[in-house]
Amino acid sequence: MADLFDAPALPGLASQDDLVSEAEERMLIAAIDATALAPFRFQGWTGKRLTSSYGWRYDFDAGRLERGEPLPDWLLPIRDRAAAFARLPVDDLVQALLIRYDPGAGIGWHRDRPAFEHVVGLSLGTQATMRFRRRVGTRFERVAVPLPPRGAYHLSGAARHGWEHSIAEMDRTRWSITFRSLRARSS
Ligand SMILES: O=C(O)CCC(=O)C(=O)O
Ligand SMILES: [Fe+2]
């Protein structure tokens, strides 16, 4: 894996360890588990990961963005910290997506929906690897980035728009909180 080790950091990807403490991590995991987690659905297909969302939700079955419940109080201090880390106005982070990946669950190759712009994620529970790829001619250029528990990452620019990302299935449970801003309307 020397090629990955030597690869330059992905433009548009920033990360920060220990955005939350271990005590906060336990609180957040319990709070996520207490939400109405439901299997991710995409055009009739049901994924293994469980999700709930606040602020806005993208309905993959209907293919549109819908307004959702406001963010609960317990998420607000975490959003403050996520915004400070990403150097974004806190009010820009209008969506919070909560995910639980039970053992065997992951997320396949994708780019986040174009309705959203900045993506600021927090990892909880267990280490994961976020894989990135982009097509270069007939092959894929690839980068793998560790996501340590309690650490945050920010996808913008090329990492957000030019590369796809995925998370391989894990053998222990991982939770994540992803805050997103909306893409500015051009009209
Ligand atoms: O679990 C994560 O940290 C990332 C999830 C993700 O890529 C997504 O929901 O678009
Ligand atoms: Fe994503």
Q: Which residues lie closer than 8 Å to 36 by C-beta, 6 or more apart?
A: 52
pLDDT of residue 55: 97
- Ligand minimally distant from the alpha carbon of residue 40: 1
Helix (H) or strand (E) holding 94: none
pLDDT of residue 147: 97
Is the CB of residue 121 below 6 angstroms from any atom belonging to ligand 1? yes
What's the gap in Å between 130 CA and the centre of ligand 2? 10
Choice among 56-60, 79-83, 114-118, 123-127 with the minimum mean pLDDT: 56-60
Domains identified in the chain and CATH numbers:
2-181 (2.60.120.590)
Tell me what the pLDDT averaged over the chain comes to.
Answer: 92
What is the edge-to-edge ordering of all strands in the sheet holding 116-124? Answer: 13-16, 152-155, 116-124, 174-182, 95-101, 45-54, 38-42
pLDDT per residue over 84-108, tens digit each?
A: 999 999 999 999 999 999 999 999 9
Give the residue, by CA position, lying nearest to ligand 1 atom 10.
112
